[in-house]
Amino acid sequence: MNDRLNLAALPEVRLRPLPPEALAALQQRFGAQCSAAAAVREQHGRDESAYTHIPPPQAVVFAESTADVVDALRIAAQWRVPVIPFGVGSSLEGQLLAVHGGISLDVSRMNQIVAVHPEDMTATVQPGVTRLQLNEAVRHMGLFFPIDPGANATLGGMASTRASGTNAVRYGTMRENVLALQVVTASGAVMRTGTRAKKSSAGYDLTRLFVGSEGTLGVMTEITVRLVPLPEAVSAAVCSFSSVEAAVRTTIAIIQMGIPIARCELLDEHTVCAVNAHSKLSLPEAPMLLMEFHGSPTAVREQAEAVQAIANEHGGHAFEWATSPEERTRLWTARHHAYFAGVQSRPGCRAITTDACVPISRLADNILAAVADAEAAGLPYFMVGHVGDGNFHMGYLIDPDDAAERERAERLNRALVERALASGGTCTGEHGIGLHKRDFLRAELGDEAIACMRAIKAALDPHNILNPGKIFS
């Protein structure tokens, strides 16, 4: 475990040389859309994970259409060259790293909204469309796309990792909100899965097979998603507590009473301090719940009053409302910047981030144990949680050149995940597996499930060219 994030500690890594003939074929087909420049390759060889010293891809192809993706994969298949799909580079578990070399297939230029059907509340987009771009395009129709992972990620990346985020407690995750896909397979064939209909009993559910596959089974080139009506009224509130436990107990009571809260986020005192410094706020520096309510004016008021009463029973104080769009945006922007606020609180550090999701009844025990472990280890950290659905995140701030700190952070990560699994939870609620959580996936699902996944991978990608080394080695 000591060098878990070092390339040398990943024994299955074997960089496959990019044959000169393959690079020549790419350059002939794509011209300026193909680059082997060092700066471009370096940009596509890192993400937001804590991995360092990973060699970059050997070439980058900027796809602008499904035809581009088809041709890139056909060339890669001919020469058996790895292909790693790339969006905006915001993955947290090493999904974008070229551990076997090969081609980074950048789909960020595929950023067109193909169609919006407001009467059906669906939209079809290319994978490079970001969530903010889509919401800006449909806002005037009285609709929005509710999945909000924090970063302005691409919908291709969000579907690939089965992302969720702050609104999941009410609106679900990408799993529930992707209706159909257009996918290019490892051989360069184009396949469609699903339809715009709300339900189907037609055959295997291939859409949900690809959602969450992290680019290991195919490259998405069109994604059809659900939209939902903009709420008539929105209200946000912050409430501080004397302890993390009191805040979590409040959340559990809210969920168990069936109050349809839209967002319920927990920040511990370390994170609140960092957010205050980063976003120039003056929030009370204590564990805090940041909540949001959607619905009619009457429903929003009733929900908020019920939540405030529950918070009071658990010692909540400094309950404040934010009803204007500007104030709500300011609060949620600060929450979305919590990761960067945490990293900036220790200059020069690197964050080893982890997330887990547990049944709501076990949430308090798991969060309190994770916080106690971090305090005992003496590592700076931050903690945020989409606690309304049992999902929480820890970020351990380490000196990237200090092997002892890296080992401590990895030990904390392992203990956190093992507790979550023992509680009937999962090793990752939304970050995905990537490189960092492959061992935990086996512990969670067992050998038979991993063997089944390998068989699916072998059937769809027999030469293992699609993002090899991710999810399982």
CATH number of the domain that residue 365 is part of: 3.40.462.10
User: Does residue 387 contact residue 264 with C-beta atoms inside 8 Å?
Assistant: yes
Which phi and psi angles does 173 have, rounded to 5°? -115, -175
Task: Give yes or no: residues 175 and 211 share one domain.
Answer: yes
Q: In the predicted model, is pLDDT for residue 326 greater than 90?
A: no
Confidence bin at 322 (pLDDT 50/70/90): confident
Mean pLDDT of 459-466: 97
218 and 155 both lie in a single domain? yes
| Distance in angstroms (rounded) separating the CA atoms of residues 325 and 311 | 24
Arithmetic mean of pLDDT over the chain: 92
The reply to whether 315 falls in a domain is yes
Cα–Cα distance between 236 and 144 in angstroms, integer? 18
Whether residue 224 sits in one domain with residue 321: no
Answer yes or no: do 145 and 255 share one domain: no
pLDDT for 40 beyond 50: yes
- Backbone torsions φ then ψ of 193, nearest 5 degrees: -125, 140
Q: Judge if 224 and 212 occupy the same domain.
A: yes
Q: Tell me whether residue 463 is in a domain.
A: no
Residue at a domain's end among 229, 252, 272: 229
114, 119, 122, 123: CA torsion to nearest 10 = 20
Task: Identify whether 168 is part of a domain.
Answer: yes
Mind spelling out the 3-state secondary structure of 58-91? CEEEECCCHHHHHHHHHHHHHHCCCEEEECCCCC
Q: How far apart are CA 118 and CA 174, in angstroms?
A: 19
Assigned domain for 156 exists: yes
Q: Tokens 């956190």 label which residue?
A: 416
In a domain, 443, yes or no: no
Most confident of 85-94, 218-227, 429-438: 218-227
**Cβ pair 425, 359 in contact under 8 A:** yes
What is the C-alpha to C-alpha distance for residues 112 and 392, in angstroms, rounded to an integer? 33
Average pLDDT, stretch 350-370? 93
User: Per the confidence metrics, is the pTM higher than 0.85?
Assistant: yes
Lowest mean pLDDT among 298-312, 323-337, 384-398, 452-466: 323-337
| Domain assignment of residue 107, yes or no | no
For residue 383, pLDDT beyond 60 = yes
Residue that finishes a domain, picked among 171, 202, 229: 229
Co-location of 204 and 176 in the same domain: yes
Residue 379 burial (CB count, 10 A) = 18
12, 221, 150: which is closest to 431 by C-alpha?
A: 150
Q: Are residues 157 and 257 in the same domain?
A: no
Note whether 367 and 281 are same-domain residues.
Answer: yes
Let me know whether 272 and 213 are in one domain: no
- Cα separation of the two ends of the chain: 16
Q: Sorting pLDDT into bands at 50, 70 and 90, what band is 14?
A: low
Each residue's pLDDT tens digit, 421-433: 999 999 999 999 9
Other Cβ atoms less than 10 A from the Cβ of 343: the count is 20
The pair of structure tokens assigned to 144 is 């929005």
For residue 120, what is the domain's CATH number?
A: 3.30.465.10
Residue 44 falls within a domain, yes or no? Answer: no
User: Rounded to whole angstroms, how far apart are CA atoms 265 and 384?
Assistant: 7
Question: Is it the case that residue 118 has pLDDT exceeding 90?
Answer: yes
What's the CA gap between 190 and 434, in Å, rounded? 25
Q: How far apart are CA 76 and CA 143, in angstroms?
A: 40
Do residues 236 and 207 both lie within one domain? no
Same domain, 134 and 222: yes
The domain boundary, picked from 213, 229, 245, lies at 229
What is the number of structural domains in the chain?
Answer: 2
Residues 167 and 151 in one domain: yes
Q: Is there a domain that residue 58 lies in? A: no
Which residue range is the domain that position 200 belongs to? 113-229
Q: CB–CB of 291/386 below 8 Å?
A: no
At 243, list the tokens. 């302890």
